[in-house]
Chain A
Amino acid sequence: MTTKTRYFVIVSLLTLGVGLGTGVVAYYVGFPAGASASRGGPAELGFVPRDASVIAFANVHEIMGSELRQKLRRAIPIQQNGQQELENQTGINIETDIDSIVACMSADAAGANPPGAGMVLARGRFDETKIEALMRERGAHVETYSGKRVVVADPQDAATDPSSSDKSRHGHPSLSLSFMEPGLAAIGSTTLIRSAIDLHKAGNNPQAGLESVTGNDELMNLVRSLDNSNAWAVGRFDALRTQSHLPANVLSQLPAISWFAVSAHINGGLRGTLRAEARDDESANSLRDVVRGFLALAKLGSGAKPELQATMQSLELGGTGKTVSLSFAVPAELFDVIGAAATLRKPAVR
C-alpha cells in the first residue's frame, strides 16, 4: 500500500470515526442539533406541568391576520356572537387583544386532575380589573395563592367549600383565572393554575416534585422537531384515546401510537404535518402501509378533480423507524372553491 493510499484510508476512517463518535454522544447526551436550537417552544411552556398529556400552541395574532382567515371570512360569513359575548364579558377582543395561546391538557392516572382538566395561557393585552370584576359578578371569588390573586369560579352545583376539592360533586373542575405576569393570563382548572403559579414563582425543582413540561424530553423533542408553524399540538396518543369515548372494539383496532404531533402554518393557504410515534418499528410499518394505501387511492382518485390535485400531490408520507409523518399543503385556491360552494348552497338550505 502506497503512502498516498494509506493517507486516504486514514482520512476516510477518521471522518467516519469522528462522525460516529459525535452521533453516539448526541444519541446518549441528547444535545440539540442546531446551534440555535434552545429549549424549544414558547416560554409559556415553563408554566405547564411536566405530566401534561397534550400541549398546543397557536399564534392567534398571525392566524387572525392571515390572508386565509380573511378569505374564509369573506367567503363564509361566520356568526360572531360567541366572540362578541366574550368581549362583552371580559373585554377581550380575540382578534386584537390576544397574541398567542398555549394550552395544555392533563389526564394523569393518579387522579390529581379530573380527566380532561386543562389550562390556557394567553399572552396579549388584558383589562385585568374588568375581567376580575365581571367574573366576580357571576359568582366567582378571589383567593390568594403564593402571593398571586386567583379568581375561582366554582360550578353552580359545586360544594360550597372551594378549598375542599378541585372537583364538584358531579366531577366538573372549578375554573380559575390568574394573571401570572403583565400580559399573561392563565385560565383553567384550579389545580393546574396553582401548579403554574408555583412554577412561575420557583421554576423547575424536580427534587421538590415541581417540574415543567420543558423537563419532559420525549414531549420536548417533538416540540423541537416542529417547524416554524403558527399552530401545533403535541401529546400522548393514549390521552386522546381515553377522551374519545369510542367503543372498546373500535379502540382495539386503533394503531399502537404512543405520541402524536400536528403542526400547521396558516397564511395564504394551509400547510402542515401530522406525525405519529409508534410503539415499535413494526407498528410504524403497519401504519405506513395503511396510510400509503389511502394515499395511493386518493392520488389516483383525484385525477378527475383538478382543484384537489395540488393538495393531493402535496401529500408526502415520511418518517423513519418508529416515526410516521404525513405532510400536506392546501392552496388558497381550494378555499375559494369551498367558499363558492358554500355561497351556492346557502339559498338551498334556507
Chain B
Amino acid sequence: MSEAPRTPTVLASAMRIFDLSLGQMLWSRRSVFLGVMLGGPVLLAVTLRLVDTLHSSGFRVNGAAVGGATIFGMMIWLLFIRFIVPVLGVFYGTSLIADEIEDKTITYLFTRPIPRRSVLLGKYFAYLVCTVLLVLPSVMLVFFLIVPTGGGSIGAAFPGLLADLGMLVVGLASYGAVFALVGTRLKRPLVAGLVFAFGWEPAVLLFPGYLKRLTVAYYLQALVTHEMPQDSSVSLLLQIFHEVPSVAASLSVLAVVVGVALWLSGRAVEQREYVLEQ
C-alpha cells in the first residue's frame, strides 16, 4: 500500500512561492514605478552633489548653511519615511493576493497541495526582499553622495546609516504586513491603504492623545536617529506633539504588529472563498 503524499510545511511551501514571486515582482509593471520612485532620491542626490561641487558656498536652508549629514537626515524623513516606505507598503502589500485574483491565477496556487497561508507568506517574503534590495542600495547611494558635502564625515555618520537601514527594513516589514492584511480583508484595499497611510496616520500624529498609537508611523519614527525636519506648519505641530516611545518598545510593538497582521492575513486567506469574476 503506497503512502499518502505528505503536505509540505508552511515554511517550505512559502519558500517555493517566494522563489516564484520574487522574479514576478521584480520584473512587473509595478517595478517601473518602483524604479522611478527610488531613482528619484538618487538623482536628487547627484544634483545636490553637483551643486555643492560647483558652488563652494555649499547648501543653504533658509539662508543657513547645512551639512551633508543634515540633508541626508532630511531626505530620510521626507522622502523615505513619510513617502516611499508607506507607498511601497500600500502598493505591494495590498496587491499580494489581489493581483492573483485580478489576473484570475489564484486558483492555480490554491489547487496546489500546500497550505493556503504559505501563498501569502511566500509573497510577503518576496515583497520584503524585493523592496529591501531596491530601497537599501538607493539609500546607500544617497548617503555616499550627500554626506561628504559641507564637510561631513562618512565615518562619523556611518552608525546613523546602519540605524537608518535597520529602521527602513522594519518599516517595510511593518507596512507590508499591515497592508497585506488590508489586501486580504477588504474589497478595495488600495483605497483603504492610501487613506490609512496618507490620511489617518499623518492626521492622528498631529494631535495629542493615544490615537497615534494606532499607527505604524508613531513607532517607526522612534527608530529614526535624525532630527525631524521643520519644513512646514504641519511639521511644527508634529514637533509640539512629538512623543517618542523607547526603541525597545517600538521594536516590540512593530514585531507584534507584523506577527499579528500576518497571522490574521493567513487566516483570512485560509477561510475566505475567492470568487473570480468572469
Residues of A within 8 A of B (CB): 1-2, 4-5, 8-9, 12-13, 15-16, 19-20, 22-24, 26-34, 37, 40, 221, 224-229, 263, 265, 269, 271-273, 281, 285, 288, 292, 295-296, 299-300, 310, 313-321, 324-325, 327-329, 331
Contacts and interface: CB of A to CB of B under 8 A. Distances in A.
A112 to B, nearest CB: 31
A228 B56 contact: yes
A318 B23 CA distance: 40
B70 A319 contact: yes
A227 B133 contact: no
Interface in B212-245: 225-227, 229-230, 236, 239-240, 242, 244
Interface string B114-137: 000000000000000100011011
Contacts of A9: 129, 133
17 contacts: A12-B136, A16-B137, A22-B144, A26-B153, A27-B154, A33-B68, A34-B149, A221-B153, A271-B65, A272-B64, A285-B244, A296-B240, A314-B61, A316-B61, A319-B227, A320-B157, A327-B66
B276 interface: no
Contacts, number: 155
Contacts of B4: none
Nearest to B72: A320
Given A227-B58, A265-B65, A272-B64, A316 B151 contact: no
Contact of B153 (A32, A310, A318): A32
Nearest to A37: B151
A285 B247 CA distance: 13
A33 B65 contact: no
Contacts of B64: 271-273, 314, 316, 327-329
Contact of B155 (A31, A227, A288, A315): A31
A33 B153 contact: yes
Contacts of B56: 228
Q: Which 10 A-B pairs have the closest CB atoms?
A: A329-B63, A33-B148, A327-B64, A19-B140, A26-B155, A314-B62, A15-B137, A12-B133, A23-B158, A227-B65
Contacts of A221: 153, 156
Contacts of A271: 60, 63-65
A1 B230 contact: no
A296 B26 contact: no
B59 to A, nearest CB: 9
Interface in B155-173: 155-162
B236 A299 contact: yes
B62 A33 contact: no
A8 B70 CA distance: 31
Nearest to B63: A329
Contact of B137 (A4, A19, A224, A295): A19
B65 A1 contact: no
Given A320-B73, A321-B225, A224 B141 contact: no
Given A12-B134, A27-B159, A5 B67 contact: no
Interface string B243-262: 01000000000000000000
A31 B240 CA distance: 38
A75 B140 CA distance: 50
A26 B65 contact: no
A28 to B, nearest CB: 8
Contacts of B154: 22-23, 26-27, 33
A26 B162 CA distance: 13
Nearest to A293: B240
B226 A320 contact: yes
A300 to B, nearest CB: 8
Contacts of A321: 159-160, 225
Nearest to B22: A5
A227 B230 contact: no
A92 to B, nearest CB: 31
B202 interface: no
B67 A227 contact: yes
B147 interface: yes
A219 to B, nearest CB: 13
A27 B158 contact: yes
B227 A23 contact: no
B19 interface: yes
Given A13-B133, A27-B158, A288-B227, A8 B26 contact: yes
Contacts of B129: 9
A231 to B, nearest CB: 13
B230 A225 contact: no
B70 A318 contact: yes
Contacts of A26: 153-155, 158
B155 A29 contact: yes
Contacts of A31: 155
